[in-house]
Amino acid sequence: MRTIFDDVEARNNLEEEKKGGSRSVPILLWFVALTFVVATFGIYRWVIDKPAPEPPPPPVSLEDIRQTAAAFSQFNRYVQDDNWVEAEKLISITASQTLVNQQKTLKQSVLGDRENDRVVEAASTPSGERMPNYVSQDCVYKFSDGQFKIIPLVLVLENGRLVINSWSEPETKEEDKKRP
The tens digit of pLDDT for each residue in 112-123 reads 888 888 889 999
> Do 124 and 150 belong together in one domain?
yes
| Count of domains forming the chain | 2
Domain membership of residue 9 (yes or no) is: yes
The angle formed by the CA atoms of residues 52, 58 and 61, to the nearest 5 degrees, is 175
Q: What burial class does residue 111 get, using C-beta atoms within 10 Å of its C-beta: 0-12 exposed, 13-18 middle, 19+ buried?
A: buried
| CATH number of the domain enclosing 119 | 3.10.450.100
- Shared domain check, 69 and 44: no
Same domain, 84 and 141: yes
Give me the tens of pLDDT residue by residue for the chain, a chain 180 residues long. Answer: 666 667 777 777 777 666 555 566 778 889 999 999 999 999 999 999 999 888 888 888 888 889 999 999 999 999 999 898 999 999 999 999 998 998 988 888 888 888 888 889 999 888 888 888 999 999 999 998 889 899 999 999 988 889 999 887 544 444 444 444
Coil vs helix vs strand at 18: helix
Entry pTM: 0.64
Shared domain check, 79 and 41: no
Domain that holds residue 127: 65-178
Q: Tens digits of per-residue pLDDT, 29-57? A: 899 999 999 999 999 999 999 998 888 88
Q: Does any domain span residue 10?
A: yes
Residues 87 and 174 in one domain: yes
* Residue 84 counted as domain residue: yes
Q: Indicate the helix (H) or strand (E) that contains 34.
A: helix 24-49
